[in-house]
Amino acid sequence: DVVVVGSVNADLIVRVDRRPAPGETVFGGDLAVHPGGKGANQAVAAARLGARVALLGRVGSDANGEFLRRALSGDGVDLGHLLETPGPSGVALITVGPDGDNSIIVSPAANGRLSEDDVAAAAGLLDRARIVSLQLETPLATVLAAARAAARVVFNLSPPAPVPGELLARCDPLVVNEHEAEFLLGERGAPDRQARALLALGPRSVVVTLGADGAVVAEPGAVTAVPSPRVAPVDTTGAGDAFTGALTWRLSRGDDLVTATEFAVRVGAASVRKPGAQGSYPYLEELKVL
């Protein structure tokens, strides 16, 4: 139903009381290693809900590559197009400070090698998919090639970076959080105004996610606010990826954008009730309580 083209990372997480200054060494807590990367997160979010999902991406030939493959296949993601690059897999080095604030260094490694040729080689897969989900942790040229090959594109402008108008014009929807919206527009503003202004940049539709406040959907002629269920947040890491994975799956099933967003905010809300990214993503049964 769904194809995700994107990144696969090992998240290496250490808690610290404070971050080291240049030249300094500090002690941290025990290392936690979790599967991550925006592409993999979205694929797992959709797969846990029951989607058939394939991930086009690259991992390295190292132990992390093995670990990441195992995690994805354990969640039922189709790995027929997960390619291997000699050398290291993508890694996110994450320190978590006393307030729960993250500092992150991403080493794209194998993700940086996902190429336009890889997209061309997966033409059959992209042809069969009704919908392809894209983000920006792989090279922009690759993302653009995938967007050109796809029947319908869900694009999450994350991490935020300048993109060509052609890519925006293919988005249906463009998905951004408030920071990414501000990046594209160059100014803050009320969410409905931001969503309308983003639509004027050329995408066919827009979804702006608003954390605890849910999301706002902009389509030609209509702006719709979609509130999120109220939950006690434990860890919001990966909420946007859970949201986008869920949204993409429901769109592939034929939902209209507002209906799909009403479903996706429940998945996003469920994901913040547990720690971590993929580990917090709900199965369909768990959603019934929200």
List residues binding ligand ADP (CB under 6 A).
177, 209-212, 214-215, 228, 231, 233, 236, 239-240, 243, 265, 268-269, 272
Q: Is 235 marked as a binding-site residue? A: yes
Say which of 117, 127, 241, 256 is annotated catalytic.
241
Instruction: Confirm if 41 and 245 have CB atoms less than 8 A apart.
Output: yes
Q: State the number of CA atoms in the 13 A half-sphere of 88 facing the CB.
A: 9
The single-letter DSSP state of residue 220 is: T
Helix 239-252 with 38-49: angle, nearest 10 deg: 50
Q: Which two tokens stand for residue 241?
A: 């990826």
Residue 186 assigned as binding residue: no
Q: Whose Cβ is closer to ligand ADP: residue 202's or residue 211's?
A: 211
| 107 annotated ligand binder | no
DSSP code of residue 14: E
**Given the complex with ligand ADP, which of 45 and 77 has the nearer CB atom?**
45
Please, what is the minimum distance in Å from the beta carbon of residue 88 to ligand ADP? 26
Which CB, 89 or 209, lies closer to ligand ADP?
209
Rounded to whole angstroms, how far apart are CA atoms 95 and 101? Answer: 8
Alpha carbon separation from 245 to 30, 39, 84 (Å, rounded): 30, 9, 23
Nearer to ligand ADP, 28 or 229 (CB): 229
Catalytic residue status for 241? yes
Tokens encoding 212:
């605890």
Among all chains, which residue has been given the structure tokens 């941290």? Answer: 28
SS3 assignment, position 119? helix
Residue 240 in marked binding region:
yes
Residue 105, Cβ density class (10 Å: 0-12 exposed, 13-18 middle, ≥19 buried): exposed
Instruction: Quote the crossing angle between the two packed helices 191-199 and 178-185, to the nearest 10°.
Output: 50
List, in order, residues 6 or more apart from 179 with CB less than 8 Å away.
160
Where is the binding site for substrate, in residues? Answer: 9-11, 37-41, 137, 241
Where is the binding site for K(+), in residues? Answer: 235, 237, 271, 274, 276, 280
> Catalytic residue numbers?
241
Where is the binding site for ATP, in residues? Answer: 177, 209-214, 240-241
Where is the binding site, in residues? Answer: 9-11, 37-41, 137, 177, 209-214, 235, 237, 240-241, 271, 274, 276, 280
